[in-house]
Amino acid sequence: MTVDLKSFDSFLYSKMSETKLPSLSVAIIKNDEIFHSRTLGLKNIESSEPTSITTNYGIGSVTKSFTALGIGKLVEQGKIDFHDLVTDHLPELKNYKAFEKVEIHHLLTHSGGIPGLGSAEVLIFNALGLTKKWFPTATNDDIVSFLDKVDDWAVADPGKRYFYLNEGYVLLGEIISRVSQTNYAKFIKQQILTPLGMDRSFFSKEELEKDGDWAIPYMMKEGKAISTVIPWGAGAAGGLMSNAVDLSHYVEMYLNRGEFRGKKIIGKDIIEKMETPYSKPPVSLFSDYGYGYGLFVAHNFYEQKLVRHDGSLAVYTASMAFLPESKLGIVVLCNGEGYNLTLFSLYGLITILGKDPEEFGPIKRERLLTRLEGNYSSYKDTVSAEVKRNADFLMLSGEDIGEQIVLVPERIENEHAIFYTLRNTAKLVVEFTLMQDSVEMIFERYRYRKKN
């Protein structure tokens, strides 16, 4: 297969340069092998060590798919059922009405009706020195104590509403431990990592340090990377350290419907259940998006099923995505936070499919927002304004405008973009016109032209 991936590599390089991310490790999987790999930047800025395709990174919530797969293994072994009540396996939760009707299925699909409770976030932020809050949640007993007020916090019956719940996956990890009568990490290693040849993927600090090849975690502050510690402790919700080579094996298993190089890891029926969307996230890049068992799923990505998950530990970010019909997948790993790695992975998949990733909605919008940034002036430069991008919004300031105001996108087209803000509680439209060599903005009484 001949595909020119120079544009993909250039996209990686340009966005890394723009956001000052320390390093990237990327592997594209096609027909049971790494079809293309690319590494950029430094795994250790202080010692100027470049990263490699085998360097380990924290994969954050991509770990949830391993936990879901572990639950699937126990179902396949006849030890549990997806629709078992959680309290059947964690009887101490019977004291909480919020868990009265919650099934394993609901925890897998973030549809238990309980909003995110923030324990994982506090764990990460505390380790990084970003908060003084602390909730000791190292064991299941700790989690049960943390949940003592949960009955006052649930807002929906199980199965009725999606709330991303890290604590739910911690409980799934505990179910795996109790049902298998072994430690969660040991079970995942025995049942998944070792059979897949993922011998350099670890849940513990001791194993990682013995291996020796990992990317230093960095916090990004005002465009500068500051080295920090690995926030251990996320466990079944986000605690795995892995690398692009090991994760390529993991993706290969999904692409082969549960098999890996002649070995059955799990049945095709379990894989299909994992890739069935049961609950709908409130925000998505796609209209037909849903959450399966530890995996996000969209059914109309260039007329194919897209399966993916990303992860973040604030100092590590990760993205895994694959197209089962094309037997095509990608993993992207980074030791910093500041750019949506999902766009990296989708850009790569679209390129391999022979389509133009620059026409993909989110990429196209990102380019346009960047083009709108700059300094603007009115007639004969009587008044001036500045437009800056802030994520999906624009920030506008100027001599007759005042301090920065937020511009919210309403309609964005190739040559025309409509934003709005609020002034004295009333909606005020801001209009941009994009021409070949210039950009114009209409704001209130003024017509501005972007300075080149």
DSSP of 209-254: HHH--BPPPEEEETTEEEE-------GGGT--EE-HHHHHHHHHHH
Question: Which pLDDT score, from 0 to 100, does residue 2 have?
Answer: 64
| Cα–Cα distance, 280 to 6 (Å, whole number) | 35
Question: Which pLDDT score, from 0 to 100, does residue 283 have?
Answer: 81
Q: What is the pLDDT of residues 126-170, one digit of tens each?
A: 778 777 777 676 666 777 788 888 988 999 999 999 999 999 999
Question: Which pLDDT score, from 0 to 100, does residue 138 have?
Answer: 64
Q: SS3 of 276, please?
A: coil
Per-residue pLDDT at 124 exceeds 90:
no
Mean pLDDT score of the chain = 93
The DSSP letter of residue 153 is T
Amino acid identity, position 448: Y
Average pLDDT over residues 188-214: 97
Binned at pLDDT 50, 70 and 90, residue 420 comes out as: very high
Query: Count of CB atoms within 10 A of residue 41's CB?
Result: 22
Q: SS3 of 143, please?
A: helix
Average pLDDT over residues 207-233: 92
Distances in Å between the Cα of 411 and the Cα atoms of 226, 238, 416, 430, 444 are 38, 36, 8, 11, 18
Per-residue pLDDT at 125 exceeds 90:
no
Question: Which pLDDT score, from 0 to 100, does residue 140 have?
Answer: 66
| Cα–Cα distance, 142 to 122 (Å, whole number) | 14
Is 317 within 8 Å of 227 (Cβ atoms)? no
Per-residue pLDDT at 1 exceeds 60:
no
Distances in Å between the Cα of 212 and the Cα atoms of 114, 208, 316 are 39, 6, 17
Question: Which pLDDT score, from 0 to 100, does residue 123 have?
Answer: 78
| Cα–Cα distance, 323 to 337 (Å, whole number) | 26
Binned at pLDDT 50, 70 and 90, residue 110 comes out as: very high
Average pLDDT over residues 384-396: 93
Q: Which of 64-73, 90-99, 384-393, 399-408 has the highest mean pLDDT?
A: 64-73
Query: What structural domains and CATH numbers belong to the chain?
Result: 6-359 (3.40.710.10), 371-450 (2.40.128.210)
The DSSP letter of residue 191 is I
| Cα–Cα distance, 134 to 236 (Å, whole number) | 19
Question: Which pLDDT score, from 0 to 100, does residue 6 have?
Answer: 93
Q: What is the pLDDT of residues 272-303, one digit of tens each?
A: 999 999 999 998 788 889 999 999 999 999 99
The DSSP letter of residue 2 is -
Is 353 within 8 Å of 377 (Cβ atoms)? no
Question: Which pLDDT score, from 0 to 100, does residue 369 have?
Answer: 92
Per-residue pLDDT at 81 exceeds 80:
yes
Question: Which pLDDT score, from 0 to 100, does residue 299 have?
Answer: 92
Average pLDDT over residues 261-266: 96
| Cα–Cα distance, 452 to 450 (Å, whole number) | 6
Number of residues in the chain: 452
In the chain, the percentage of residues whose pLDDT exceeds 70 is 98
| Cα–Cα distance, 271 to 88 (Å, whole number) | 24
- What DSSP string describes 306-335? EEEEEEE-SS-EEEEEEEGGGTEEEEEEES
| Cα–Cα distance, 225 to 244 (Å, whole number) | 22
Binned at pLDDT 50, 70 and 90, residue 414 comes out as: confident
Q: What is the pLDDT of residues 164-188, one digit of tens each?
A: 999 999 999 999 999 999 999 999 9
More confident residue, 220 or 112: 112
At 353, give phi and psi (nearest 5°): -70, -5
Q: Which helix (H) or strand (E) holds 271?
A: helix 268-274
Q: 389-399 in b/e burial notation, b at 16+ Cβ within 10 A?
A: eeeeebebebe
Q: How far is CA 291 from the centre of its chain?
A: 13
Query: Count of CB atoms within 10 A of residue 71's CB?
Result: 27
Q: What is the pLDDT of residues 330-345, one digit of tens each?
A: 999 999 998 999 999 9
Q: Could you identify the residue written with the tokens 């300031």?
A: 397
